[in-house]
Structure 1
């Protein structure tokens, strides 16, 4: 059975008019309504449904508002999701329906169905228009409907907003591509998914540097640590924080009142002992008993002299001098003035401005193998655009407890060149380890977390 010339001409005229209306549609909802209801002008049918992979059944013919939870809609969802996206119109019936759906065909649809696929694009997933009626479909009708659905999908993609990237949309596109390649019967080595998988595998096997990040700062490499030479109270400072000093310049003084009193007492005690010795020497000329006490008095003099020398040395050390040229590293001198200090307590440091290195604290979870000489880069918070290059010197053997309660390994790295940055600037240090595959670089932390959680 064929269409007559008059009917065919009328159908072609309707096709041109519908294509014009589709191009001037206001939005996608109007186009969806035209697909299930306006298509009747090209070929009569009893039921129509528009389906997309990401939205399911979105529009039904003869229905103003579709009930998404209706049994008919659920059955159509199972039917349409099982139809292949061959790119060509497909006559379907109960015998062609997927398993589990064909048994209910007669309950929901007429005998003869027609599937008009809508290929996927950048703005929409793949889908199709399902038409069903009680008489067979003619070839002329299928040709007109194929042309109409092609014009319709062009207008629909133009009116549909671009699909935002997500794992769901990526999955739908990959599934649509697989269906197209299966329908085209391409050999496995020519399929796009095989090419993408091979390329992804090669990328994951690319060698990259295993790098970790750690908080770091610029510190003095070999500072002169100034410790308290005696037990006493600091009276005043002669320098200020970050002040440049030269070797032999006074740094601070201890309170010398007590030391002066002790020195005076020691000197007087020594003078008394010497006077007793001279008196005993004179008596020894006439008294033999006094002669036997000379050795004891001589020892007492030496004892008093040693004590006086010790106190004199403390008086001399009460004024602390700079042992080398450099910059004074001190927080607040006011905190030390009037404060009693013990012998050996650290007070300040004198560091050379050019003798600087990087100190970083490597977290225990990021303790990758790092060999001496590994590349280290410090990105300072104050000047992030001028990183400081350094070479790893050593990593501490034991993890040390940080002020925040966490444990980390101390890392020291010498600078590759002279830097203008001052000591004390903080930032983030990037430590470079061995070469590893990109897949290992990406999965190292997740795998470690899984092993810590599950124990395998």
Structure 2
């Protein structure tokens, strides 16, 4: 009876224990970390009275404040609390470092704080404060150290500090049970590597997964691979006939369309004949006049000996006029350009040529045989790897990305020549392995195959070449 009477006589000593049990139960039922943080800074008042509370972590700063739903990270009060809690976290308790996984209640000594923090204390917090530290947990990488700061108007008792420590133990257990560091976090990665390395050290060197992977990587670096380069490529005519302007003049009309198939001796285009025809008419009239004058003097020569000498001059003039007329007649015939053989005509839009003056020898179009097609590749100076004749080449056309055209290198230009974009490249020609149905002029990317080299050389060729241009080794 005395024991029962003693228990019933001290209800005030049992009530805080029920509060700790209730808070611990609510912490285990919390669904999120934010709910746990809100519970700690607001409902701890069931154990002891305080005016302000703040939950702080070393890796995130102030996580929760009492009386507010969410702390404003840029507020002056929060910034000052971050500096204060960071200072308290580095202090020691009773001259010893804080033990891992132990929540220690420590009254805040204003005299041990830096001058700037102590000077602003009265502006932000009441006089009395209690700091409960939470060291980082080795079993939960990435959790980080932290603590809770309680501030009130009255000093905190030792009994209250003990209850707070017990409550914080239970809360910390619930927090770590729900805490999940990011998958990419350095802490989780470091812990995984340490665990893996620890397990690997217990094995024989040849059974170690790390050593096996390293050995396979070294062997793979010496694995032979085919050295290849990529360059712009195009289907071009193998041996086209170049149709050039036969004379100086203005193109008057085209009689064929671009990419049209023509027969031998078919009219391709013609020059403006007005000027040549008028000159030919004048030359013919001048020739007829000279011939009539020559016949007149031939009749006079029968009775006048002086006319015989004039006949020789007129004969030379007739020869000159006849040669001029024949030349103009030949020019008139050459103004109508005919196809030298069967094939496909390759040229630009006819409207760009009609009415345009051209000079003798200027290229107007090309005449290609559809079956005589090859690959033309412009190989950049940085990609000029050693390539032998008949080396494999594959052309991937932009118009046909799911198929390729195979060929073999026929020749590579000796000198790099400028391209329209201003870069210098080597011209490479490759003959096709088999006839292609793709038309001339299609462009794409060509893949040229070189010698067999180690994988390490294949990987480092371009980086080393780039570095070598800037470093004098």
Q: Do these two structures clear the TM 0.5 threshold for a shared fold by scoring above it?
A: yes
Aligned to 1:107: 96
Alignment-derived partner of residue 445 in structure 2? 428
Among residues 191, 196, 199, which one is paired with 1:180 in the alignment? 199
Q: Could you tell me how far apart the structure 1 residues matched to 2:263 and 2:214 are?
A: 67
2:183 pairs with 163, 185, 198, which one?
163
Whole-angstrom distance in 2 between the partners of 1:112 and 1:171: 20
- Ranges in structure 1 where 5+ consecutive residues have no aligned partner: 1-22, 32-54, 59-63, 77-103, 119-123, 130-151
Aligned to 1:372: 389
TM-score, normalised by the number of residues in structure 2:
0.63
Task: Give 1 or 2 for the bigger CA radius of gyration.
Answer: 2
Structure 2, gaps ≥5 residues long: 1-27, 37-56, 61-65, 72-80, 103-135, 146-173
Distance 2:235 2:433 in 1: 13
The whole-number CA distance in structure 2 between the counterparts of 1:338 and 1:403 is: 26
TM-score of the pair, normalised by structure 1: 0.65
SS of equivalent to 2:232: strand
Counterpart Cα distance in 2 of 1:128 and 1:289: 131
Aligned-partner SS, 1:316? helix
Partner of 2:234 in structure 1?
217
1:337 aligns with 2:354: yes
Counting matched residue pairs gives 359
Residues 444/175 of structure 1: CA separation in 2 closer, same or farther (3 Å cut): farther
298 and 247 in structure 1: CA distance in 2 versus 1, 3 angstrom threshold: same
Work out whether 1:326 is the aligned partner of 2:343.
yes
Contact 2:378–2:426 under 8 Å retained in 1 = yes
Say if 2:334 is the partner of 1:317.
yes
Q: Distance in 1 between matches of 2:198 and 2:313?
A: 114
The root-mean-square deviation of aligned C-alpha atoms, in Å, is: 4.5
Name the counterpart of 1:200: 217
- Residue 173 of structure 1 deviates from its aligned partner by 4.8
Deviation of 1:177 after TM superposition, in Å, equals 2.9
Tell me which residue corresponds to 1:138.
none
1:407 is aligned, of 413, 424, 439, to 424
Can you list the C-alpha shifts for 1:419-445, whole angstroms capped at 9, x where unaligned?
111111111111111111111111111
Distance 1:269 1:263 in 2: 10
Is the CA contact (8 Å cut-off) linking 1:359 and 1:410 kept in structure 2? yes
1:334 deviates by 1.3
Structure-to-structure mapping, 1:206-355, within 5 angstroms = 206-355=223-372
Cα deviation digits, residues 392-439 of structure 1 (max 9, x gap) = 122222222222222222222111111111111111111111111111
